[in-house]
C-alpha cells in the first residue's frame, strides 16, 4: 500500500473538512488538505506592504542581490508576487500578494490607483513641469502618451509626483524629458496605503480598511487616497 493510501485508510487525511475516502478523489489547488490536524496547503489570501530599502531587487529570486521577498517573514511568503515593481535604487512602498486577480486589478491604468513618489532632482524643478506632466508626455518606445499626472513642488530640488499608471522607469523618464536627472526616488503611498509605522525593510499585512480602500478605488476610479492637491488634476 502506498503511503497516501495508508494515510487515507487510517483516516488521517481531510479534504475540505471531510475525511478522505479514496486515492481517486479530486484534489485541486483550492482544496484544503489537512493531515493529522495540520493544513498542508494554506491558500488564504495574503496582502502585504513592504518598505523597500535601496539596493534590493523587486523580484522573488536573484543570484546577486537581496530580493524584496527575502525581507518578508510570513508562512506563505513563497506564494507571494509583487504588485508594481520599484527600481533597484528606488525606495518605499511595495505591495505583495498571492491574490493574482487583486494584483491585476490594482495595476490596471483604468483603475486609476494613485501612486505617489517623492523625487529629489539634480536641477531645480521648472515652472513648466506641472503643466507638461498634466497633459502627458509621449513615450516613443511604447508609442503612448502618459496619463495626466500631478506634480506638487516641495522645494527647488524636490517634488511629489502622483501617477495613475506604472510604465517602465516612468518617473525617471518624465523628468528625463527636461534633462533633469532623478537622484532619489521614494514611493510614499499607493491609494490609501502609506508606509506609516514601517521602518526600512519592514513589512506588515494590509489592514481590512486598506484592503477595502483599494477595492473601493477600483469601483470609484481612483478617488481614494489621492492627495487633495491632485483631486482636480486626476
113 binds ligand URA (CB under 6 A): no
Q: Is 86 in the site for ligand URA (CB under 6 A)?
A: yes
Told to judge if 87 belongs to the known catalytic residues of this protein, a careful annotator would answer yes
CB atoms inside a 10 Å sphere around CB 148: 16
Find the shortest distance in angstroms from Cβ 201 to ligand URA. Answer: 17
Within 10 A of 45 (CB to CB), how many other CB atoms are there?
A: 12
Q: What is the 3-state secondary structure (H, E, C) of 120-171?
A: EECCCCCCCHHHHHHHCCEECCCCEECCCCEEEECCCCEEEEEECCCCCCHH
Rounded to 10°, the helix 208-220/100-107 angle is 50
Is the Cβ of residue 98 or residue 170 nearer to ligand URA in the bound state?
170
Q: Given 3, 16, 36, 87, which residue is catalytic?
A: 87
Segment interacting with ligand URA (CB under 6 A) among 42-50, 82-90, 135-143, 191-199? 82-90
The x, y and z cell numbers of residue 206, run together, are 494590509
Q: Counting contacts by CB under 6 A, is residue 147 touching ligand URA?
A: no
Among 97, 116, 162, 170, which residue interacts with ligand URA (rule: CB under 6 A)?
Answer: 170
Distance CA 45, CA 35 (A): 21
Please pick, from the candidates 80, 82, 114, 185, the single residue that binds ligand URA as defined by CB under 6 A.
185
Q: Is residue 87 near ligand URA by the rule CB under 6 A?
A: yes
Residues marked as catalytic:
87
Amino acid at each position: 500500500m502506498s503511503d497516501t493510501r495508508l494515510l487515507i485508510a487510517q483516516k488521517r487525511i481531510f479534504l475540505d473538512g471531510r475525511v478522505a475516502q479514496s486515492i481517486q478523489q479530486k484534489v485541486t489547488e483550492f482544496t484544503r488538505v489537512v493531515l493529522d490536524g495540520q493544513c498542508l496547503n494554506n491558500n488564504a489570501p495574503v496582502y502585504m506592504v513592504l518598505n523597500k530599502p535601496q539596493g534590493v531587487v523587486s523580484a522573488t529570486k536573484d543570484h546577486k542581490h537581496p530580493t524584496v521577498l527575502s525581507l518578508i517573514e510570513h508562512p506563505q511568503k513563497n506564494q507571494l508576487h509583487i504588485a508594481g515593481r520599484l527600481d533597484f535604487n528606488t525606495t518605499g512602498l511595495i505591495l505583495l500578494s498571492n491574490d493574482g486577480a487583486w494584483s491585476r486589478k490594482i495595476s490596471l491604468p483604468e483603475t486609476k490607483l494613485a501612486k505617489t513618489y517623492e523625487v529629489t532632482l539634480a536641477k531645480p524643478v521648472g515652472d513648466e513641469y506641472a503643466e507638461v506632466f498634466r497633459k502627458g508626455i509621449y513615450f516613443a518606445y511604447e508609442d503612448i502618451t502618459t496619463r495626466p499626472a500631478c506634480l506638487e513642488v516641495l522645494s527647488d530640488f524636490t517634488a511629489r509626483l502622483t501617477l495613475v499608471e506604472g510604465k517602465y522607469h516612468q518617473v525617471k523618464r518624465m523628468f528625463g524629458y527636461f534633462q533633469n536627472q532623478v537622484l532619489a526616488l521614494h514611493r510614499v503611498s499607493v491609494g490609501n496605503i502609506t508606509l506609516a509605522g514601517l521602518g526600512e525593510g519592514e513589512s506588515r499585512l494590509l489592514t481590512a480598511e486598506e484592503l477595502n480602500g483599494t477595492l473601493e478605488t477600483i469601483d470609484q476610479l481612483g478617488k481614494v487616497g489621492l492627495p487633495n492637491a491632485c483631486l482636480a488634476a486626476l
